[in-house]
């Protein structure tokens, strides 16, 4: 059973070294831990977004200045050993090899059709039917839907860093900020969530090159 | 090291009802190009394979099949999975002046080589490190995803994951590989001529490992997503599988946790006679 530790605020800014856009995945939390990894982003807004414990959709809506709508939703049943980025390992007991897990992919776009984030959610299919309906609902962002269903949500960031932005046109892929967190419902891990943010809106520059 | 395939997906390459001769024909030997301990033989085999595909117009055939898959789209977005030397991507770009092509491979060294070549300088091309069984891209990011001559390198569980992920990120997933029949071994002498013993070795193993049409259809039925596959034969000896995904439909999930034995009993095979 994973332990739940609240995320503390990121450390204050220290240096201002420029960071080139990179196309390689850099999981900064591997060397620094998730808290320090979030602190390595130069933009305070990015640090707030990655380190926040509240609803990502709400934060992004405040940033975008408009309502965000969910799109491109697919929900598949995937064997635990084939979940993206080893997400099953974050789900503890539910993710035994051979178990089927729900994998939901979605995007958030604003009223002008600009893409803000691409999200992967991995969750055990069993549990409260109301919460499961939220996971498979293609029309609503997951966090607000779960809150409306009465879930007591918490988040623990386990990974953060930069990764190639997957939704751009062909050509060099700019670096995008990402975070992976456990989504708690009470004392149970409900899902493992990976969010990648469009670098056109959410700056992914680091204080120091990776 | 890739994970072991789940027992329920560990089916014969000829399909769930493969004949006895087909099961004996199958092999679990590894090709040189799948073995990290023989880099020299791997290089010889890859060079020979490239020559073989050019000689038999394999790249041209695959580019034509890809074009047929994206149809009259004005600026088709194409993703090549397992691009290798990238000749298919380059062929698509030359054949279609408005196509936007992303050549991808799971091996970062291969992608570096692609970036250093003509694809890296092409204004309508991009190169990316992507795992075909877990693709980092939003749904519908491409019109067509194509994997040519590489399907047999994946275990059955990998093929199921490819069908699920390929149809998620692309409107159409096109798979082209050798046709599963012992008569296709007649191409081995030509492989020997184009690539020597190394390619003949890999060619024989490839032809014994390629998936039958029934296997691809069965794996699509078990991949965990609403995927529909059409399969057909194409000259001179290709299996062409075109996979598409039904509009969003939440997967049917039992309320209680369903471990794999219970799932294995569920009649989820979608086979065609």
Instruction: Kindly tell me the sign of the dihedral angle through the C-alpha atoms of B11, B17, B19, B22.
Output: negative
Q: Which residues of A touch B171 (CB under 8 A)?
A: none
| DSSP secondary structure letters along A168-189 | S-SSPPPEEEEEEEEEEETTEE
Q: Work out the number of other CB atoms within 10 angstroms of the CB of residue B237.
A: 17
A190: in domain: yes
Residue with tokens 């081995």: B188
Contact across the interface for B124 and A170, Cβ inside 8 Å: yes
A97: in domain: yes
Q: Which residues of B touch A138 (CB under 8 A)?
A: 248
Determine the Cα–Cα distance for residues A180 and A194; give it in Å rounded to an integer: 4
List the one residue out of B197, B199, B149, B158 whose CA is nearest residue B176: B149
Structural domains of chain A, count: 1
Q: How close A11 gets to chain B, by Cα (Å)?
A: 30
SS percent in chain B: helix, strand, coil, step 5: 45, 20, 35
Instruction: Kindly tell me the sign of the dihedral angle through the C-alpha atoms of B58, B60, B64, B66.
Output: positive
DSSP letter for A54, please: S
Domain residues of chain B, as ranges?
A: 7-18+57-189+210-246
Determine the Cα–Cα distance for residues A196 and A114; give it in Å rounded to an integer: 14
Determine the Cα–Cα distance for residues B122 and B115; give it in Å rounded to an integer: 10
Asked if B213 and B241 touch (Cβ cutoff 8 Å), the reply is yes
The domain that holds A114 is classified in CATH as 3.40.1410.10
Q: How close A69 gets to chain B, by Cα (Å)?
A: 15
Q: Per residue in A133-180, pLDDT tens?
A: 888 888 888 888 888 888 888 889 998 999 999 888 877 889 999 999
Q: Which residues of A touch B125 (CB under 8 A)?
A: 170-171
Contact across the interface for A170 and B126, Cβ inside 8 Å: yes
Contact across the interface for A136 and B250, Cβ inside 8 Å: yes
pTM of the model: 0.81
Nearest to B168 among A74, A98, A102 (CB): A74
Q: Which CATH class is domain B7-18+57-189+210-246?
A: alpha beta
Backbone angles phi, psi at B192, to 5 degrees: -65, -40
Determine the Cα–Cα distance for residues B247 and B228; give it in Å rounded to an integer: 11
For residue B63, the Cα-to-chain-centroid distance in whole angstroms is 14
User: pLDDT 10s per residue in chain B (273 long)?
Assistant: 333 434 456 789 999 999 999 999 999 898 888 887 878 888 888 888 889 999 889 999 999 999 998 888 788 999 999 998 899 999 999 989 999 999 999 988 889 999 999 998 999 999 999 999 999 999 989 999 999 999 999 999 999 999 999 999 999 999 999 999 999 999 999 999 988 898 899 999 999 999 999 999 999 998 888 999 999 999 989 999 999 998 766 665 554 444 444 444 444 444 444
Contact across the interface for B6 and A98, Cβ inside 8 Å: yes
Q: Per residue in A179-196, pLDDT tens?
A: 999 988 888 888 999 999
SS3 A4: coil
Checking if the pLDDT of A13 tops 50, the result is no
Contact across the interface for A81 and B251, Cβ inside 8 Å: no
Q: Supply the range of the domain harboring residue A61.
A: 44-165+174-197
Q: Quote the percentage of chain A above a pLDDT of 90.
A: 33
Length of chain B: 273
Q: Which residues of A touch B102 (CB under 8 A)?
A: 170
Determine the Cα–Cα distance for residues B36 and B27; give it in Å rounded to an integer: 19
Q: How close B149 gets to chain A, by Cα (Å)?
A: 23
- What per-residue confidence (pLDDT) applies to B4? 40
């Amino acid at each position: 059973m994973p332990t739940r530790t609240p995320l503390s605020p990121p450390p204050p800014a220290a240096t201002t070294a420029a960071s080139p856009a990179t196309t390689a995945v850099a999981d900064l939390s591997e060397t620094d831990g998730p808290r320090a990894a979030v602190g390595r982003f130069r933009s305070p807004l990015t640090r707030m977004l990655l380190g926040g414990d509240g609803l990502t959709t709400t934060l992004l809506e405040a940033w975008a200045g408009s309502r965000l709508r969910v799109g491109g939703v697919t929900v598949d049943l995937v064997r635990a050993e084939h979940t993206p980025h080893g997400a099953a390992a974050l789900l503890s007991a539910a993710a035994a090899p051979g178990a089927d897990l729900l994998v939901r992919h979605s995007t958030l776009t604003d009223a002008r059709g600009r893409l803000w984030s691409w999200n992967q959610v991995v969750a055990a299919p069993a549990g409260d039917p109301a919460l499961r309906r939220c996971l498979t609902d293609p029309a609503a962002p997951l966090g607000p839907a779960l809150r409306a269903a009465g879930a007591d949500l918490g988040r623990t960031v386990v990974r953060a860093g930069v990764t190639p932005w997957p939704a751009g046109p062909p050509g060099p892929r700019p670096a995008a900020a990402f975070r992976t967190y456990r989504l708690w419902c009470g004392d149970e891990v409900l899902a493992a969530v990976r969010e990648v943010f469009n670098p056109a809106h959410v700056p992914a520059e680091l204080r120091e090159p990776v | 090291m890739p994970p072991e395939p789940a027992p329920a997906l560990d089916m014969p390459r000829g399909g769930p009802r493969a004949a006895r001769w087909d099961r004996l024909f199958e092999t679990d030997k590894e090709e040189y190009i799948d073995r990290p301990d023989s880099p020299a033989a791997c290089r010889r085999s890859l060079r020979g394979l490239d020559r073989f595909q050019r000689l038999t117009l394999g790249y041209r055939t695959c580019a034509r099949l890809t074009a047929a898959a994206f149809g009259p789209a004005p600026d088709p977005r194409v993703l090549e999975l397992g691009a290798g030397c990238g000749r298919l991507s380059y062929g698509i770009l030359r054949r279609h002046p408005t196509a936007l092509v992303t050549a991808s491979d799971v091996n970062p060294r291969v992608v570096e080589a692609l970036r250093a070549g003509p694809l890296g300088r092409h204004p309508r091309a991009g190169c990316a490190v992507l795992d075909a069984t877990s693709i980092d891209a939003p749904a519908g990011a491409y019109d067509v995803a194509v994997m040519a001559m590489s399907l047999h390198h994946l275990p059955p569980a990998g093929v199921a994951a490819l069908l699920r992920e390929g149809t998620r990120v692309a409107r159409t997933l096109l798979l082209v590989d050798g046709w599963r029949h012992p008569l296709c071994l007649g191409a081995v002498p030509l492989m020997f001529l184009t690539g020597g013993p190394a390619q003949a070795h890999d060619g024989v193993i490839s032809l014994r490992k390629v998936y039958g049409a029934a296997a691809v259809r069965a794996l699509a039925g078990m991949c965990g997503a609403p995927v529909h596959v059409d399969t057909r034969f194409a000259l001179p000896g290709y299996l062409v599988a075109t996979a598409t995904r039904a509009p969003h439909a939440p997967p049917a999930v039992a309320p209680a946790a369903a471990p794999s034995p219970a799932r294995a009993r569920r009649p989820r095979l979608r086979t065609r006679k």
